[in-house]
Each structure stands twice: as C-alpha cells, then as structure tokens.
Chains A and B, each alone.
Chain A
Amino acid sequence: MANSINKKKLLISCKEATMLSVQKAEINLSFTDRMRLFIHLLICQYCRLFDKQIKMIDTILSTWNTNKKLTNDQKTALQAIIDKELN
C-alpha cells in the first residue's frame, strides 16, 4: 500500500488528495484511490489547481539544466592541483 488512507473512507482530506496527485505521476493508483482523487478534485478547486500545476512542474523538471561555469580563478586553482599531482 502506497498510502495510509482509512480503507472505508471515500472522502479524503486535501493532504491526502495532494499525496495521491503526487503518486499518480509515478505509480498506477488503485481504483479506489482514483475514485477518491476524482471526487476530491470535483469539489476542491485548490487541489484541482495543485494537480494541474504539479503536472506542469514535472515536465519542466525533467529538462532542467544549468549554464553556470567555473571562474577562471577556480580553473587555475584546479589546474595547479593537477600539475602538482603530475609532478
């Protein structure tokens, strides 16, 4: 079981619903969990927004990169360390 939601409960809290939104991206939710999330998203605009934004964020994160480079001083220092080791 990926979550600890009470077995009989169909109406879940926002905390539980956002957890299901997060899990949905990685695993197949059980039928009950899908129903729970569906019902919660019907009645809660905030979790609906969360669910939508999380999907966007996932796409963006997967292509994240950086353009940062080392400074010349840092490179000189590294080169000095290598030169010292080589000699």
Chain B
Amino acid sequence: MESYHKLNPQNWVAKYSDELFAFALVRVADEEIARDLIQDTFLSALKNLGTFKGEISEKNWLYFILKNKIIDHYRRISKTPLTRIDDQENEDEFFDESGHWKKQSLPKPFNQAISNQQHTFEFNEIIEKCKRKLNELQLTLFSMRFIDEIDSEEICKELDISSSNYWVLIHRIKLKIRKCLEKLLYGKQH
C-alpha cells in the first residue's frame, strides 16, 4: 500500500518544535510545563512510529499527540486534591457578604481602549501576565473554554465538575482577568 506521508524524526525539532511549543504554552501555566509536554510528545511519537500510517501529515500527527498530552495534563490537574481545595477561596476578594463590590475591587475604566486592531504582541504579554493570577484549575478551564473553545458541558465531563462549579470558576476567572487588565492597562499611561 502506498503511504503518502513519511516521518523524519531527525527534523522534528528544527521544523516543528517552535510552533508546538507556542501551541502548548498558551494552554498551560508556564514555559517549563510546555517544554515538558513537547518532550513527551516527541518521545511518545518515537515509541509509536510503527502506528503511523501516512494518512495524515507528520505535522498533524505530532499535533494530535500533543493535544492528547495536554488533555492528560488537564485531567491530572483536575484530580489533584490541592487545586480543588485551593479553589474554595476562604475570603472573597471581590464582594462583601451582601454581594456588593468591595471598595478596593470596584471596577474602574481601562485607561487604554482594547480592541482587535490593537491586539498586538504587547497585548499578548499582558494576558500572559494575567494568566498567572489564576490557579491551575482556573487556568485549565480558561484554556479549554477560551483558547480551545470547548463547550461547557464537555468541560464539566472532562474535568469532572458540576455545572454550578463551572459557573463559579468562570465567574472568578473573568473577575480576576478583568481586574488584572485594569491594573496593567492603567499602569501603562502613568
């Protein structure tokens, strides 16, 4: 049988490592995790050279393996008891007991307008910083929902969380990201 695509593992690093790294990096907490995932992907690909049938391109095959590695990583996080507990934040930094904004958390206008046109490398750096404000479970949800655009039902199933948990997490993520953007965009003009 004729095979259309061939594998050339010697060239993987030179040809694909940067884009696979970028793909992983926007989906996980930091560069170290992203690097580990890339290494795991290459190693797992090498172990499974025999399963490659040439029906998809080498590049798509590597992406396919990486995506599975990322999902495994997400599952590991959602099963870690610590991240679960961590999310039951003892004190609400945004709202008081009656559900009103706490004074220090009242939303302020952004000093810089953000729009798609302005969506530059510099802005990516800002989001990168804000992402670090999230804990691991929030970050996982953030990546699944806003980067991979997986629907909420699927996410709940994958991470084994209830729908009300999902909303509490998304609510908190958006509150945190908004506050962080406010701070960073405000700081820029001063």
Contacts and interface: CB of A to CB of B under 8 A. Distances in A.
B38 A82 contact: no
A81 B146 contact: no
Given A65-B124, A69-B21, A53 B110 contact: yes
B3 interface: no
A85 B182 CA distance: 48
Contacts of B31: 68
Contacts of B94: 15
Contacts of A57: 114, 174, 177-178, 181
A46 B101 contact: yes
B21 A70 contact: yes
Nearest to A3: B167
A67 to B, nearest CB: 6
Contact of B21 (A47, A54, A68): A68
A19 interface: yes
Interface string B78-108: 0000000000000000110011110000111
Interface string B1-39: 000000001101110011001100110000100010011
Contacts, number: 124
Interface in B134-153: 146-147, 149, 152
B26 A15 contact: no
Nearest to B99: A13
A64 B46 contact: no
B164 interface: yes
B121 A67 contact: yes
Given A57-B178, A74-B35, A14 B99 contact: yes
B35 A64 contact: no
B177 A75 contact: no
Nearest to B115: A56
Nearest to B113: A56
A85 B124 contact: no
B163 interface: yes
B128 interface: yes
